């Protein structure tokens, strides 16, 4: 591992969470500890220092002679902080986002559609982005606020992901927390790993769905849900 000094001085602010303090970045700006090692609700963090060291190695692989010195000095830290932000919910259970459940006698379909989301594909660490539709049929007077449904999508997306798994995790969070009669989740997303590299199919999108309960068992109720979101 190259010594940080080689790159014009290690950013003094890069302290581990156990050191836990305010520090200074290369321009002397004060940076709050919370932005250095973003903390999930269970107190776990990503290791910013290790990510930074890894990115420094990636740049070395590109060839340090071909890169601007500013890039060598500051990009590893910027990228590490970016990943810390992207993956800030890495250890948060999406079901926790549903929080308070309202006691309300409503037993028809509830639909929240066109929820924008972005995530990072775990195969290439490139973004994929699109919209999510969430449909459920409550039972036992358990419903949640619409913003909580969007929050489940955000939390499940804030980690290295596969679109298929993301779709299932959103559906399973609702099942776990609300025990509804049925859940349907549909995601449509564009993957940069497919449009920028490999087969380079710009404009293509991938659709995934997860069906639980009555939407799984009953084609008529599934059709009704799909007609509401399509
Ligand atoms: Zn990918």
Whether the per-residue pLDDT at 36 is higher than 80: the answer is no
- Is residue 216 annotated as a catalytic residue, yes or no? no
Give alpha helix (H) positions in 46-122. Answer: 48-62, 69-86
CA of 38 from ligand 1 middle (Å) equals 24
| Residues 194, 200: Cα–Cα separation, whole Å | 6
CA of 82 from ligand 1 middle (Å) equals 18
pTM: 0.79
| Residues 80, 56: Cα–Cα separation, whole Å | 10
What are the pLDDT digits (tens) for 88-98? Answer: 889 899 999 88
Mean confidence (pLDDT) of the chain: 83
> Do residues 125 and 196 make contact, with C-beta atoms less than 8 angstroms apart?
no
Q: How many CB atoms are closer than 10 A to CB 103?
A: 9
DSSP code of residue 36? T
What class, spelled out in words, does domain 94-229 have in CATH? Answer: alpha beta
Q: Of the listed 85, 122, 164, 176, which one is catalytic?
A: 122
Q: Where are the domains of the chain?
A: 4-86, 94-229
Provide the pLDDT for residue 202. 87
Q: pLDDT band for position 103 (50/70/90)?
A: confident
Return residues with CB closer than 5 A to ligand 1 (ion).
121, 123-124, 193
């Amino acid at each position: 591992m190259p010594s940080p000094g080689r790159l014009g001085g290690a950013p003094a602010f890069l302290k581990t969470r156990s050191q836990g303090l305010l520090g200074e970045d290369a321009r002397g700006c004060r940076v709050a500890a919370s932005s250095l090692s973003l903390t999930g609700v269970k107190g776990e963090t990503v290791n910013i220092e290790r990510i930074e060291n890894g990115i420094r190695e990636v740049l070395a692989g590109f060839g340090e002679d071909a890169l601007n010195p500013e890039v060598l000095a500051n990009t590893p830290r910027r990228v590490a902080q970016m990943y810390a932000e992207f993956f800030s919910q890495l250890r948060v259970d999406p079901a926790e986002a549903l929080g308070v459940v309202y006691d309300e006698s409503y037993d028809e379909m509830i639909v929240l559609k066109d929820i924008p989301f972005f995530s990072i594909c775990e195969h290439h660490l490139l973004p994929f982005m699109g919209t999510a539709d969430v449909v459920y049929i409550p039972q036992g007077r358990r419903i949640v606020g619409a913003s909580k449904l969007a929050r489940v999508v955000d939390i499940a997306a804030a980690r290295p992901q596969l679109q298929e798994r993301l779709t299932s995790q959103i559906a399973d969070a609702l099942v776990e927390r609300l025990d509804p009669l049925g859940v349907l989740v549909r995601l449509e997303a564009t993957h940069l790993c497919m449009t920028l590299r490999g087969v380079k199919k710009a404009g293509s999108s991938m659709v995934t769905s997860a069906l639980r309960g009555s939407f799984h068992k009953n084609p008529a109720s599934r059709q009704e849900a799909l007609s509401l979101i399509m």
